[in-house]
Amino acid sequence: MRAIKQGLGRLMAALLMSTLSLPVLADGTVGWPEKADLKFGFIKLTDMAPLAIAYEKGYFEDEGLFVTLEAQANWKVLLDRVIDGELDGAHMLAGQPLGATIGYGTKAHIITAFSMDLNGNGITVSNDVWQAMKAHVPMKDGKPVHPIKADALKPVVEQYRKDGKPFKMGMVFPVSTHNYELRYWLAAGGLNPGYYAPDKGDTSGQRQADVLLSVTPPPQMPATLEAGTIYGYCVGEPWNQQAVFKGIGVPVVTDYGIWKNNPEKVFGVSKTWADQYPNTHIHVVKALIRAAKWLDENNNANRPEAVKILSRPNYVGADYDVIANSMTGTFEYEKGDTRPVPDFNVFFRYHATYPFYSDAIWYLTQMRRWGQISEHKPDSWYMDVAKSVYRPDIYEKAARALIAEGKMSAGDFPDFDNEDGFKPPQTGFIDDITYDGHQPNAYLAKFPIGLK
């Protein structure tokens, strides 16, 4: 049935492509996609869910799009394939479009018009490290008080150093949320995670480090921890819960505890692709918005079905129970210590899908804080980069089209007529520092550990 529908859709595309070329038509709908056959990449993490749901629920097909979803080996391969055109777009780390655009690593102008989720990560340590940490963790009724701060890890790291063992932890990519969240958590506990010095040819990120961070692909985190190569890691689900199920590690904090409702992944495309296929891009964003809403609607009532889809080998490929542990609103820390975390994965509520400039600027501040941006930049530079990468104008066109078609309501979205792309000053950080995206340099000056 799907093959017949796709065949008819391709025929319609061929007939209408030449006549519907304007991005948004007079009635508020979007012109026909210039390119209908698309290939999108993803990494095997639960937060690729909007792509899987847009495909499985037929939202891409509703937009005249015929999409192939393809798992990628790692984040670098994924980015390179978007840059060279092998992929039309991809599930990306929020820092990847920013890093590429400013030339950290591979230089290319990548943009995003869709934020894929909030939260979704955790920090896990080995059983041995956890046993050593527990003596320093506040307890209530025999259970650890969460969120656990890195203050409890600091004496463990110091003991490892006395024993002549460098303390090693894994994260998924130098410009990943995981890198910045792990660094943020460590620094808030008085541990220096080290600096990058690309102007001096040092991209290890380990200068002056108390804790040595290195890259490990997400699916390999549990095995690397079990082998003793690293003593802990920061990663997205299901790879923290996998450590619990395997009995090899203990998640000590989620990113919800490090920064409440932090932005996570984005859907990224090259600027060249977006300019060549503006209608297609809007249709893609429309389908992803619908998928994100489906994932969160009715208080996450659709999550069990989503977990069943994600557990398939062609998507995440982990056991249903492992994925469900976080996707259905709970999170297991020490084995048997399962607690409600209803917002561990957020896909639509709190305007999660909107590409806020303030989110982009936060990532840029962390790149500067840890030396990936080598020199001081004025506040205006942060704003200019954010506007060149994050594209709420494209998102708004997609949202208005969905409203015009009766598929969504205006109340589902920010007030576009009064939206400036900045969230109000944000609290909810583990170190109690407030973030105001309008003042990036003033924000950087607040940190005891980090470049100013």
pLDDT of residue 16: 45
pLDDT of residue 21: 45
- Between helix 75-83 and helix 95-102 the angle, nearest 10°, is 60
Residue 181: give the domain boundaries. Answer: 121-261
Percent of the chain clearing pLDDT 90 (strictly above):
91
- pLDDT beyond 80 at 369: yes
Residue 219 in domain: yes
Residue-wise pLDDT for 50-102, tens only, equals 999 999 999 999 999 999 999 999 999 999 999 999 999 999 999 999 999 99
Domain with residue 296: its CATH number is 3.40.190.10
- In degrees, rounded to 5, the angle at the alpha carbon of residue 269 between the alpha carbons of residues 268 and 274 is 135
> Position 193: which residue type?
P
Residue 362 in domain: no
pLDDT tier, 14 (very low <50, low <70, confident <90, very high otherwise): very low
- pLDDT beyond 80 at 168: yes
Q: Which of 242, 261, 280 is the last residue of a domain?
A: 261
Same domain, 256 and 270: no
Q: Do residues 282 and 394 touch, judged by C-beta distance below 8 A?
A: yes
Q: How far apart are CA 268 and CA 265, in angstroms?
A: 9
- pLDDT beyond 50 at 272: yes
**φ, ψ for residue 288, nearest 5 deg:** -70, -35
Q: Which of 261, 277, 303 is the last residue of a domain?
A: 261
Pair of tokens at residue 123: 């920090």
User: What is residue 234's three-state secondary structure?
Assistant: strand
Q: What is the mean pLDDT of the chain?
A: 94
Pair of tokens at residue 97: 């479009």
Q: How far apart are CA 401 and CA 408, in angstroms?
A: 9
Residue 424 in domain: no
Same domain, 83 and 13: yes
> Position 245: which residue type?
F
Q: How many domains does the chain have?
A: 2
Q: Is the dihedral of CA 440, 432, 135, 255 positive or negative?
A: negative
- pLDDT beyond 80 at 373: yes
pLDDT tier, 25 (very low <50, low <70, confident <90, very high otherwise): low
Q: How far is CA 353 from the centre of its chain?
A: 11
Residue 197 in domain: yes
Q: Of 361, 387, 373, which is closest to residue 104 (Cα–Cα)?
A: 373
Same domain, 276 and 238: no
pLDDT of residue 85: 98
Same domain, 101 and 134: no
Q: What is the DSSP string of 109-173?
A: -EEEEEE--EE-EEEEEEHHHHHHHGGGS-EETTEEPSSPPGGGTHHHHHHHHHTT--EEEEES-
Residue-wise pLDDT for 374-383, tens only, equals 999 999 999 9
User: What is residue 333's three-state secondary structure?
Assistant: coil
Q: Do residues 237 and 265 touch, judged by C-beta distance below 8 A?
A: no
Same domain, 127 and 211: yes
- pLDDT beyond 70 at 19: no
Residue 128 in domain: yes
Percent of the chain clearing pLDDT 70 (strictly above):
94
Q: How far apart are CA 316 and CA 238, in angstroms?
A: 8
Q: How far apart are CA 452 and CA 447, in angstroms?
A: 8
Contacts of 156 (CB under 8 A, 6+ apart): 129, 132, 133, 136, 167
Same domain, 196 and 295: no
Residue 239 in domain: yes
pLDDT tier, 254 (very low <50, low <70, confident <90, very high otherwise): very high
Interval 266-272 mean pLDDT: 98
Same domain, 18 and 70: yes
Same domain, 399 and 309: yes
Same domain, 99 and 131: no
pLDDT of residue 18: 41
Residue 252 in domain: yes
- pLDDT beyond 60 at 1: no
Same domain, 225 and 294: no
pLDDT of residue 6: 56
Residue 445 in domain: no
pLDDT of residue 197: 95
Same domain, 233 and 280: no
Same domain, 76 and 186: no
- pLDDT beyond 70 at 150: yes
pLDDT of residue 48: 98
- pLDDT beyond 80 at 350: yes
